[in-house]
């Protein structure tokens, strides 16, 4: 039943693309996020669905799209350099087979992040991609949310469509992504035109956000709790009544606490006592190992270089007999431990140049979104009120991801690379509409009055650069 439904949906979407080729771009994003072929794809397991959608999206853009307004920006250039660099490090990788395996999906995600902005030439396309990302991730989020609410959650227990702990279905990743999409949901509920804001949209958005908040509870991913905290702090910037917001958030937390399962508190307790927790201890050990490794291999050891690590550290083992509790430190030897942090993932695999590129790509994104937000926030003209909130939402989503990525090796998470692509598209679009608006004005206003008129809202020639 689910198989048939998903199969028909994908085929339908690909068929609709014949009329509007942009839908193929959406089809690719959908397939890459949800991976319907993993959910149960008995019809055509051998069909390389992702590849078909990718080729269709690219061919549709190349042959049928006007490409008016398509620009190749600096961030896309940086992504291209990163792609070239990871190709290079794969050639000298310490573990060639594993490196080739990871390269197999990383290059696609990077290529699509470079390609996506070229297709985002209209406001509606930008909105469509935002909506598709939210609804597709929303499928996993709603599934996990309901299961958590009905008592099916737990660390490593929550089952999300597939029996796999990979990609979006990895518990910490989905916890991070579900919190990161909350600002995007809020934007769609206020500024959407595909589903214009009404009571149904607001109700759905509210329920979806609630579901998103339940994912870190259901997966018991500690990173998720951290991400909720970051979101709470970030939202402070945009709310009008800060005191009411803080009060409301605090009372919400107080009301929610009694409903959280005991196992959740036990898991969250380990955030502070990291020396008693193996997962946290190994992280610190891996990070130290990676720093040493980068000193010896400053250009990076290629994908999966962590497989070469082995280290011994002391772990406290608590034994209780009757009323006495004894703590003994035992030596534990570990090997091939993953990075558990995007920063160290980049440092170990791609060395200092790779890490610098990755940081540059993300820092530039935060900065570009800030530029748009500041430039558009006071505008009230029709068609000019959605840019600042969208830039802000995408910036928040990225910031939440960045905090989450400090504790997970998700440097190339395809969903996030889509977000990067979306940001690039928004940046190019805003830059372009702004310069178009400036042109006729500059033509009309005499030289003496130009500075004054330009400085009003649009800051004239100092447009987004």
Partner 1 sequence: MIDLFALALTHGLLVVAALRLLKRDDLDKDPELGPRSSE
Residues in contact with partner 1 by CB under 8 A are: 1-2, 5-6, 9, 12-13, 16, 19-20, 22-23, 26, 30, 39, 65-66, 68-69, 121-125, 128, 131-132, 135-136, 138-140, 142-143, 146-147, 150, 161, 194-195, 204, 383, 432-433, 436, 440
The smaller minimum CB distance to partner 1, of residues 157 and 436, is found at 436
Decide if 424 contacts 73 (C-beta within 8 A). yes
Q: What is the DSSP string of 55-102?
A: HHHHHHHHHH---TT----HHHHHHHHHHHHHHHHHHT-SSHHHHHHH
The smaller minimum CB distance to partner 1, of residues 136 and 368, is found at 136
The smaller minimum CB distance to partner 1, of residues 19 and 295, is found at 19
Distance between CA atoms of residues 185 and 190, nearest Å: 9
Give the nearest distance from C-beta 329 to partner 1 in angstroms.
45
Give the nearest distance from C-beta 270 to partner 1 in angstroms.
29
Give the nearest distance from C-beta 258 to partner 1 in angstroms.
24
Give the nearest distance from C-beta 215 to partner 1 in angstroms.
12
Bridge partners of 326, per DSSP, are 319
Measured CA distances, 221 to 227, 264, 273, 285 (Å): 10, 9, 16, 20
The smaller minimum CB distance to partner 1, of residues 23 and 116, is found at 23
Residue matched to tokens 């279905």:
169
The smaller minimum CB distance to partner 1, of residues 270 and 433, is found at 433
Measured CA distances, 172 to 220, 255, 278, 283 (Å): 8, 25, 17, 15
Q: Which two tokens stand for residue 50?
A: 């992702």
The smaller minimum CB distance to partner 1, of residues 238 and 433, is found at 433
The smaller minimum CB distance to partner 1, of residues 94 and 142, is found at 142
Q: Which two tokens stand for residue 347?
A: 């440092």
Give the nearest distance from C-beta 22 to partner 1 in angstroms.
6
The smaller minimum CB distance to partner 1, of residues 37 and 290, is found at 37
Give the nearest distance from C-beta 214 to partner 1 in angstroms.
13
Q: Which two tokens stand for residue 153?
A: 């959650």
Decide if 370 contacts 394 (C-beta within 8 A). no
Candidates 97, 99, 18, 96; CA nearest to 57 is: 18
Give the nearest distance from C-beta 144 to partner 1 in angstroms.
8
- Residue 410: CA count within 13 A, CB half-sphere: 28
Give the nearest distance from C-beta 211 to partner 1 in angstroms.
9
Give the nearest distance from C-beta 39 to partner 1 in angstroms.
8
Measured CA distances, 318 to 279, 321, 326 (Å): 16, 10, 6
Measured CA distances, 266 to 58, 79, 101, 459 (Å): 48, 41, 36, 53
Give the nearest distance from C-beta 80 to partner 1 in angstroms.
23
Give the nearest distance from C-beta 147 to partner 1 in angstroms.
6
The smaller minimum CB distance to partner 1, of residues 180 and 286, is found at 180
Look at the alpha carbons of 375, 227, 418, 218 in this order and tell me if their dihedral is positive or negative: negative
Distance between CA atoms of residues 265 and 94, nearest Å: 40
The smaller minimum CB distance to partner 1, of residues 142 and 305, is found at 142
Distance between CA atoms of residues 182 and 191, nearest Å: 14
Q: Please list, in sequence order, all residues whose beta carbon lies within 8 angstroms of the beta carbon of residue 370, skipping any fewer than 6 positions away.
A: 391, 395
Q: Which DSSP helix (H) or strand (E) runs through 222?
A: helix 222-238
The smaller minimum CB distance to partner 1, of residues 440 and 446, is found at 440
Decide if 73 contacts 427 (C-beta within 8 A). yes
The smaller minimum CB distance to partner 1, of residues 196 and 258, is found at 196
Look at the alpha carbons of 352, 354, 359, 361 in this order and tell me if their dihedral is positive or negative: positive
Measured CA distances, 317 to 51, 123, 326, 327 (Å): 49, 58, 8, 6
Distance between CA atoms of residues 89 and 98, nearest Å: 13
Q: Which two tokens stand for residue 344?
A: 């160290």
Give the nearest distance from C-beta 216 to partner 1 in angstroms.
18
């Amino acid at each position: 039943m689910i198989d048939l439904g998903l199969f028909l949906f994908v085929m339908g979407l690909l068929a609709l693309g014949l009329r509007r080729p942009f839908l193929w771009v959406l089809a690719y994003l959908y397939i890459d996020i949800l991976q319907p072929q993993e959910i149960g794809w008995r019809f055509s397991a051998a069909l390389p669905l992702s590849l078909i959608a990718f080729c269709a999206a690219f061919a549709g853009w190349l042959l049928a799209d006007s490409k008016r307004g398509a620009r190749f920006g600096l961030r896309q250039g940086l992504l291209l350099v990163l792609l070239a660099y990871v190709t290079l490090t794969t050639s000298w990788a310490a573990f060639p087979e594993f490196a080739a395996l990871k390269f197999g999906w990383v290059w696609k995600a990077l290529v699509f992040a470079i390609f996506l902005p070229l297709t985002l030439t209209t406001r509606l396309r930008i909105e469509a991609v935002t909506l598709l990302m939210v609804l597709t991730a929303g499928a996993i989020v709603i599934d996990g949310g309901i299961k958590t609410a009905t008592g099916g959650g737990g660390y490593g227990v929550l089952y999300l469509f597939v029996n796999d702990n990979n990609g979006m279905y990895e518990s910490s990743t989905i916890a991070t992504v579900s919190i990161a999409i909350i600002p995007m949901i809020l934007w769609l509920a206020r500024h959407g035109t595909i589903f214009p804001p009404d009571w149904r949209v607001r109700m759905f958005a509210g329920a979806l956000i609630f579901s998103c908040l339940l994912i870190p509870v259901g997966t018991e991913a500690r990173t998720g709790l951290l991400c909720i905290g970051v979101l709470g702090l970030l939202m402070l910037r945009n709310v009008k009544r800060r005191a009411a917001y803080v009060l409301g958030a605090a009372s919400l937390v107080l009301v929610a606490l009694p409903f959280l399962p005991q196992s959740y508190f036990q898991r969250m307790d380990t955030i502070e006592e990291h020396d008693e927790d193996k997962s946290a201890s190994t992280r610190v050990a891996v990070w130290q190992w990676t720093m040493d490794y980068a000193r010896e291999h400053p250009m990076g050891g290629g994908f999966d270089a962590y497989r070469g690590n082995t280290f011994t550290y002391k772990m406290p083992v608590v034994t209780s007999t009757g009323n006495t509790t004894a703590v003994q430190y035992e030596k534990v030897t570990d090997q091939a431990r993953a990075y558990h942090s995007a920063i160290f993932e980049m440092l170990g695999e791609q060395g200092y140049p790779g890490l610098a590129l990755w940081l540059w790509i993300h820092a530039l994104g935060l900065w570009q979104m800030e530029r748009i937000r500041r430039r558009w926030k006071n505008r009230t003209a029709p068609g000019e009120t959605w840019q600042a909130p969208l830039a802000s939402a995408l910036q928040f989503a990225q910031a939440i991801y960045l905090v989450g990525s400090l504790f997970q090796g998700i440097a190339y998470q395809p969903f996030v690379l889509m977000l990067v692509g979306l940001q690039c598209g928004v940046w190019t679009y805003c830059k372009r509409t702004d310069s178009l608006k400036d042109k006729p004005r500059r033509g009309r206003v005499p030289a003496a009055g130009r500075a004054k008129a330009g400085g009003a809202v649009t800051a004239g020639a100092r447009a987004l650069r």
